[in-house]
């Protein structure tokens, strides 16, 4: 049987085991510890974020951000419809109401539609996703949010390492979120990070993430919190991964370039665009087919043990959100119906990439 080529498997640096051994030797494997502090510092140093708190997941980080910003029942929260559900479920955790906004030619949230939605629905917060490691038009979006007094949370879960005008995603908005899930460009197996320039907000998030325990010798609680803090073990993995983050971004970009050089000659193939002034991390290489059904390509790849998947199904098309308001133009649905994500793991060889392209060409050639 052929070795399976996964969509985006973990790629270890080689130092993870040594750092985990340090954790076990210290017997400090529970949440918090030296490596949690080091991991937070490494993210701040790399991205330019002023303050950071490590969490169990990226979704937990978004939840904390909404709680800190005072989102609750009766509030509306704008969100990208073309995203993973973990980006928007925290809105429901807080009893708030989502309002979805469609994409434009960048495949990312449309700033013009977003402004219309803000005028119509008057949200308290907007959650904007940087999709598949690309960069949304976040400079325009941040200006719109500032103009209308809407808090901006950047969902940079998929875009660690991506920049616009040399500024990292995650630090344009009021708060930013990264994810270190098992398939991300940097993985701790599971984990997230919340960042902000506002120290008070991050300290409040840290308080909520640690069961909202008051400063007392005994366990004292004036409000409720969550068990959302990252373990020292997982943070050790993150510290090792951060030492090679630029290498991982460079390789993902090389992989995307390989696919584009090989497949862009076909008129029916369109790759996800990279906006002017940006450096995408290319977490996943995504493309659309104008003619052939993407399912045929997915099935042909799976037949030879190569993993791929459709693009995200837009949130406004999910049964869970069938009654939710949406500013829709059909772009995200068009992308979903025609697009797939290709294997993009940074440990892939050029031979692996050629194999993937051979299979795709057998379907569309």
Q: 127: which strand partners? A: 79, 153
- Cα 274–276–278 angle (5° rounding)? 65
CA distance 102 to 236: 38
Computed over its alpha carbons, how large is the radius of gyration of the chain?
A: 21
CA distance 192 to 179: 4
Q: Which helix (H) or strand (E) holds 298?
A: helix 294-303
Q: Which helix (H) or strand (E) holds 112?
A: helix 111-121
Strand order through the sheet with 309-310: 269-271, 285-289, 339-342, 309-310
What does each of the 365 residues of the chain score in pLDDT, given as a tens digit? Answer: 479 999 999 999 999 999 999 999 998 887 789 999 999 999 999 999 999 999 999 999 999 999 999 999 999 999 999 999 999 999 999 999 999 999 999 999 999 999 999 999 999 999 999 999 999 999 999 999 999 999 999 999 999 999 999 999 999 999 999 999 999 999 999 999 999 999 999 999 999 999 999 999 999 999 999 999 999 999 999 999 999 999 999 999 999 999 999 999 999 999 999 999 999 999 999 999 987 789 999 999 999 999 999 999 999 999 999 999 999 999 999 999 999 999 999 999 999 999 999 999 999 98
Pairing label, strands 163-164, 167-168: antiparallel
CA 4 to the chain's CA centroid: 25
CA distance 308 to 286: 10
Where does residue 104 rank: exposed (0-12), middle (13-18), buried (19+ CB within 10 A)? middle
Map out the domains of the chain with their CATH numbers.
16-242 (3.40.640.10), 245-364 (3.90.1150.10)
Confidence (pTM): 0.96
Q: 210: which strand partners? A: 227
């Amino acid at each position: 049987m052929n070795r399976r080529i996964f969509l985006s498997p973990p790629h270890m640096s080689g130092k993870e085991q040594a750092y985990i051994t340090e954790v076990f030797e210290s017997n400090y494997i529970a949440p918090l510890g030296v490596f949690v502090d080091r991991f937070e510092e490494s993210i701040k140093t790399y991205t330019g974020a002023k303050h950071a708190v490590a969490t169990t997941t990226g979704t937990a980080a978004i939840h904390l951000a909404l709680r800190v910003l005072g989102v609750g029942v009766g509030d509306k929260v704008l969100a990208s419809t073309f995203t993973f559900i973990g980006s928007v479920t925290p809105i429901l955790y807080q009893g708030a109401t989502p309002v979805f906004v469609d994409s434009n030619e960048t495949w990312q949230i449309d700033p013009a539609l977003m402004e219309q939605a803000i005028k119509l629905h008057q949200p308290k917060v907007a959650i904007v996703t940087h999709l598949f490691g690309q960069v949304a038009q976040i400079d325009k979006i941040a200006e719109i949010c500032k103009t209308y007094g809407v808090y901006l949370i950047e969902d940079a879960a998929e875009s660690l390492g991506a920049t616009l005008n040399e500024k990292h995603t995650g630090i344009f908005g009021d708060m930013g979120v990264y994810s270190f899930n098992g398939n991300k460009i940097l993985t701790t197996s599971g984990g997230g990070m919340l960042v902000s320039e506002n120290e008070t907000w991050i300290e409040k998030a840290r308080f909520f993430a640690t069961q909202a325990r008051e400063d007392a010798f005994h366990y004292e609680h004036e409000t409720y919190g969550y068990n959302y803090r990252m373990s020292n073990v997982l943070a050790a993995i993150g510290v090792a991964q951060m030492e090679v983050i630029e290498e991982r971004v460079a390789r993902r970009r090389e992989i995307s370039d390989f696919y584009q050089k090989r497949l862009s000659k076909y008129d029916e193939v369109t790759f996800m665009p990279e906006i002017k002034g940006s450096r995408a991390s290319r977490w996943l290489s995504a493309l659309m087919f104008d003619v052939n059904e993407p399912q045929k390509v997915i099935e042909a790849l799976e037949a030879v043990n190569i993993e791929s998947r459709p693009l995200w199904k837009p949130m406004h098309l999910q049964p869970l959100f069938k009654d939710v308001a949406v500013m829709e133009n059909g772009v995200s649905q068009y992308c979903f119906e025609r697009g797939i994500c290709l294997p993009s793991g940074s440990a892939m060889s050029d031979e692996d990439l050629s194999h993937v392209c051979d299979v795709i060409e057998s379907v569309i050639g």
